[in-house]
Amino acid sequence: MQVIATVSTVLRDYRISLVGVERISGHQCYHLSLQPLRNPGTFRLRDLWIDRETYATVQLRIASNFIHGPGSNVPWTVRFSRIAGIRYIKWERASVGISYRGLIYTVVYIRFEKIHTKLKAVHKNRFPMFVPLFLQEPPALGGVARKSGPER
């Protein structure tokens, strides 16, 4: 396996193990399992899927997504996508149902649609390229709860 980086630390946060290689959204990915060595509420990562060619994070699973409210103690899976060369969250999905105001939502899925970058030219003497400056979401809410699962 190719060395990605060498990291030195005084106190480790996770025990990391290679689960295997899996195909996610057309990418061959290393599936890494992360087990927090302390403070599992702070160190919430549980699984990472890393592209074998680019080493970009394609997908992750976290122990919880929110600090307060419904879904705060629910594991979530997060999928990333590349837009104009930059990685953004494509969707998030709760691993189990969520209870909210007396209703139980068996599938909670937040999809980020129509995310665009606004490009602005950088001074030509500094960089000969365009760079994204900010994201623009559609006028409606950026995420929606659905009763069907995410795209695979």
Enclosing H/E stretch for 120? strand 116-121
Total-model pTM: 0.66
CB 28 within 8 A of CB 59: no
Q: What is the pLDDT of residue 18?
A: 96
At 12, the pLDDT band (50, 70, 90 cuts) reads confident
As a whole number, mean pLDDT of residues 31-44 equals 93
Select the more confidently predicted residue: 148 or 119.
Answer: 119
pLDDT tens figures, 75-131: 999 999 887 778 888 999 998 888 888 888 888 888 887 766 665 544 444 444 444
Q: What is the pLDDT of residue 142?
A: 42
3-state secondary structure of 96: coil
The answer to whether residue 137 scores a pLDDT higher than 60 is no
Q: What is the pLDDT of residue 148?
A: 39
- The C-alpha atoms of residue 53 and residue 32 are separated, in whole angstroms, by 15
Longest CA pairwise span in the chain (Å)? 59
- How far, CA to CA in Å, does 46 sit from each of 37, 40, 81, 88, 150? 12, 10, 20, 20, 20
